[in-house]
Structure 1
Amino acid sequence: MINLDAINQTLAEQRADFFAAMKEGTPEEQEKAFDSFLGGIQDTFVTQAEQLMNEVGDKYKDEEALVARGLMKPLTAKERKYFNAAVEKQTLDNLDEAFPETSVEDIFSRLTTEHPLISLVDAKTTGALFKYMYTDPTTQTAFWGNVPDNIKQLLLKTIKIVNFEHSKLSGFVPVVKGFFKLGPAWLANYVFTVMYEIMAASIELAIVKGTGKQQPIGMTKKLSGAVDGVYPDKDRIPLADLEPVSLAGVRANLAEDKMDNGQVAALVHPVTYWTKLFPHLAFKTDEGKWVLTNLPTGEQIVKTYACDEEELIVGVPKNYLLAISGQTELKKYEETLAIEDMDLFIAKFFGTGLAKHQNAFYVYDLSSMPGATAPTKDEEADVKRPDPTGLLNETDTDTTEEP
């Protein structure tokens, strides 16, 4: 039996490599990391499928039995109709049925409750709409008594509209022929799993580092001065220690701009957390026990690979608006990046995001802070991906010749 924990650990490492490549890698490195990440998702799905088949036997295609045991998401009527059509035609392309909006809404709902970062921002789903309206959280929007005309104009100025008609997130969904043969419920579960992982990684990276050009504007970007649609990086504040006097300045700025209107968080790369933050937050009590304390200014620490190493982002996550439309396209991908032995589909949906105020988030530079040094790692050789069910290598075995 293949160790699922080991596969999940490998997937976590592939996810980290994918983040690193998307931030600063060459196109070749990005393609390699993306292929590896998708392969990791497949490994996880195939291994879980094998274990479930061994557990339930012939009932592995019984959707009601699997749903009753909490092993699979129940499908709506539209979802079942869509994936029945996909199984019948052995493709996700050119189907008579549109990809169900409820699927994207369910995936996004999971992200907003389960994901460490996405669950903390102000995430909205807007159905098939392409515009979203919100108010500036720093301005007063209610008044006692009669409201003069000049105040009415001020109120109108606090209402902001974001248009995400031209911000399209694309995620690839590779499907091996064997997945279609498992039936509509399994195919749906696989597609949802891939879309969840790709949406999670892409949205998380956009929230933190989005350039604003056909994508969200990230927390680390200024909200003005865009050149060709790309917004400039915010200035980094040098931080050499975690003493209260060093951290309090940013909290004072947040308070002055009324941006401390919720739980303030500190976003940090997982490696930087261990090398720079952890050594300064762990201490030994008089009784000889090690205790982990919080930052002196009380920020919730959120680890994300979307941050650069040596970087710390401080602000209230709810002051970042993320809006996603449920309208989705899913078509076969015929261009480059074709992955061997499988069909590649591309899922496209619309969305955007930006900070609600120009000073909602501050970026620290931790490069001068003393910390731990990670030991040199041994390089590992490439290991062939496991295929316990034979699904990854399954091909059409019908050799009947035409007369």
Structure 2
Amino acid sequence: MKSKDILKQELTQTFSTAMQSENQEDMINAFVEFATGVQQEVLNDVKAYQETGDKEILQKRGIHQLTQKETKFYQSWIDAAKSSNPKQTITDLDIALPFTVIDNVMDDLKANHPLLNLVDFQNMTAVKKMLYNKQGKQLAVWGQITSEITKELSGAIGSVDISLNKLSAFMPVAKDMLAAGPQWMDAYVRAILSEAVAYGLEEGIINGTGKDQPIGMIRDIHDGVSVSSTDGYPAKKKRVVTEFSDTVLGELYAELAKDPIDPKKSRTVNANDIIFICNPFDYFKKVMPAIRSIKRLNYVLGITNDPFEIQNIIQSEQVEEGTAILGLASKYKMGLGSGSSKGGTIEYSDEYKFLEDQRYYLIKLLGNGRATADTDFLYLDITNLSSSVKEVTVKGTVNTKEQA
């Protein structure tokens, strides 16, 4: 049997192809293939635990004590799936995914996907709209609250409607999976959602057009931008970057420090909040050598603490080769949930009928996101990024020239 890592790689590759071709059937097949593999892995762990009683298996799989609502949800699903008419029973099932499960899925996502750990990622189970501060500063004033001030403050608050976009995951559930019980069903559901949904989230956060999906970091969202009814928001104009010199990085950071409302004013930029996202090929061929070159030069110059060195570098296949994103992670707001207090919904699926011993179900979640302002992220062209720093003369003593 293929390992989970290999399955994950194949899923990602299939998703990449499906995203580029916009082939819905390819995406569904990718979900199902991955879910089937994960289900078999869980069942193998169930068997191993029953035979050995090894608690390390439970820890590895993430088995934990379920809440009363979680137990009720999974047991109701199991009972409905075992009924003589599972489709009708599931349709009539008046229970849905508890918000605590979504919390656990989000924890898994953050642990395994660096980008999702750095952006402002929120559980939106109980509400449909996520509010954010467009100005990036505390909304407080001194003095009398006039109508003009009220208008100014209200104009600084934006919202993201998470009900506009849906994330769906197909889940095959075999009879053996039903027999495993609620805790193992929970481990299976979380594994599927945390891995399958992660790709859609990352794709949306980076490239989303805003048309039936989040508005990605690379999109131009300045006030007055022309938004297509079919293609959504246009991509930002790329800034050409050929080196990571102090001057170049300083200019880029200065762009991020501009106040979103008044570019003549500034906002505080926290070095730990700065992220750089690039394609894995670009990382190994250009970015990594350039960063190592800077580190070696800093060593020669005696610089031991460089707070504005690019620290949060993320490799993502969703970034087109030759491009990169530089921005402030906390300024991207991403909500995931159901938009109701009941949690995500589960549906019986007729999409696949080729295996008698298992049926397919569909779990739907809602999600949406966007940056708080157009100045939060820069879209870079790193096609000709140099892998070395220029010659530097250290006042009268050392002359260094780093090679790629």
TM-score higher than 0.5: yes
* One of 212, 237, 240 as aligned partner of 2:239: 237
Compare the two structures and name the one with the higher helix fraction: 2
- Which shows bigger deviation, 109-118 or 182-191? 109-118
Q: Secondary structure at the match of 1:17?
A: helix
Name the structure 2 match of 1:131.
129
CA offset at residue 322 of structure 1?
A: 0.9
CA offset at residue 170 of structure 1?
A: 1.9
* One of 46, 53, 70 as aligned partner of 2:47: 53
In the alignment, structure 1 residue 11 sits paired with structure 2 residue 7: yes
**In structure 1, C-alpha distance between the alignment counterparts of 2:152 and 2:320, rounded to whole Å:** 38
Name the structure 1 match of 2:116.
118
Name the structure 2 match of 1:101.
98
Cα 1:308–1:241 shift into 2, 3 Å: same
Cα 1:26–1:154 shift into 2, 3 Å: closer
Name the structure 2 match of 1:227.
228
**In structure 2, C-alpha distance between the alignment counterparts of 1:303 and 1:294, rounded to whole Å:** 22
Cα 1:86–1:150 shift into 2, 3 Å: closer
**In structure 2, C-alpha distance between the alignment counterparts of 1:259 and 1:207, rounded to whole Å:** 23
Q: Is the 8 A contact 1:208 1:219 kept in 2?
A: yes
Q: Is the 8 A contact 1:7 1:44 kept in 2?
A: no
Equivalent residues in 2 for 1:85-234, closer than 5 Å? 85-90=76-81, 93-94=90-91, 96-102=93-99, 103-112=101-110, 114-139=112-137, 141-223=139-221, 224-228=225-229, 230-234=232-236
Letter in 1 for 2:17: A
Q: Is the 8 A contact 1:85 1:95 kept in 2?
A: no
Q: Which runs of 5 or more residues in structure 2 are unaligned?
A: 260-265, 300-304, 389-404
**In structure 1, C-alpha distance between the alignment counterparts of 2:56 and 2:91, rounded to whole Å:** 31
- Which shows bigger deviation, 67-76 or 343-352? 67-76
CA displacement 1:71-120 (0-9 Å, x = unmatched): 51222222222222332333583352422223223212433455311111
**In structure 2, C-alpha distance between the alignment counterparts of 1:299 and 1:256, rounded to whole Å:** 21
Aligned-residue CA RMSD in angstroms? 3.4
CA offset at residue 274 of structure 1?
A: 1.0
Q: Is the 8 A contact 1:18 1:37 kept in 2?
A: no
In the alignment, structure 1 residue 328 sits paired with structure 2 residue 327: no
Cα 1:140–1:106 shift into 2, 3 Å: closer
Equivalent residues in 2 for 1:284-303, closer than 5 Å? 297-303=309-315
Give the structure-1-normalised TM-score: 0.77
Q: Secondary structure at the match of 2:206?
A: helix
CA displacement 1:114-150 (0-9 Å, x = unmatched): 5311111112223331122222234562223334432
In the alignment, structure 1 residue 343 sits paired with structure 2 residue 359: yes
**In structure 2, C-alpha distance between the alignment counterparts of 1:153 and 1:36, rounded to whole Å:** 49
Q: Which runs of 5 or more residues in structure 1 are unaligned?
A: 288-292, 373-403
CA offset at residue 310 of structure 1?
A: 1.8
Name the structure 2 match of 1:363.
379
CA offset at residue 37 of structure 1?
A: 5.8
Letter in 1 for 2:63: M
CA displacement 1:138-169 (0-9 Å, x = unmatched): 45622233344322221111122222222222
**In structure 2, C-alpha distance between the alignment counterparts of 1:296 and 1:261, rounded to whole Å:** 10
Q: Is the 8 A contact 2:69 2:98 kept in 1?
A: no
Name the structure 2 match of 1:80.
71
* One of 261, 285, 288 as aligned partner of 2:269: 261
Q: Secondary structure at the match of 2:75?
A: helix
Letter in 1 for 2:323: E
Cα 1:285–1:240 shift into 2, 3 Å: closer
CA offset at residue 260 of structure 1?
A: 5.3
CA offset at residue 7 of structure 1?
A: 1.3
In the alignment, structure 1 residue 278 sits paired with structure 2 residue 288: yes
Give the structure-2-normalised TM-score: 0.77
- Which shows bigger deviation, 112-121 or 305-314? 112-121
CA displacement 1:311-354 (0-9 Å, x = unmatched): 2100111000112234311112335xx37435332221222101
**In structure 1, C-alpha distance between the alignment counterparts of 2:204 and 2:49, rounded to whole Å:** 39
Letter in 1 for 2:269: N
Cα 1:241–1:16 shift into 2, 3 Å: farther
Q: Is the 8 A contact 1:10 1:40 kept in 2?
A: no
Letter in 2 for 1:280: A
Name the structure 1 match of 2:252.
250
Q: Is the 8 A contact 1:330 1:347 kept in 2?
A: yes
Q: Is the 8 A contact 2:35 2:172 kept in 1?
A: no
CA displacement 1:246-267 (0-9 Å, x = unmatched): 3332211111234653321101
**In structure 2, C-alpha distance between the alignment counterparts of 1:131 and 1:21, rounded to whole Å:** 32
**In structure 2, C-alpha distance between the alignment counterparts of 1:19 and 1:301, rounded to whole Å:** 23
Q: Is the 8 A contact 2:169 2:197 kept in 1?
A: yes
Q: Secondary structure at the match of 1:173?
A: strand
* One of 10, 16, 23 as aligned partner of 1:20: 16
Cα 1:271–1:295 shift into 2, 3 Å: farther
Q: Is the 8 A contact 2:337 2:366 kept in 1?
A: yes
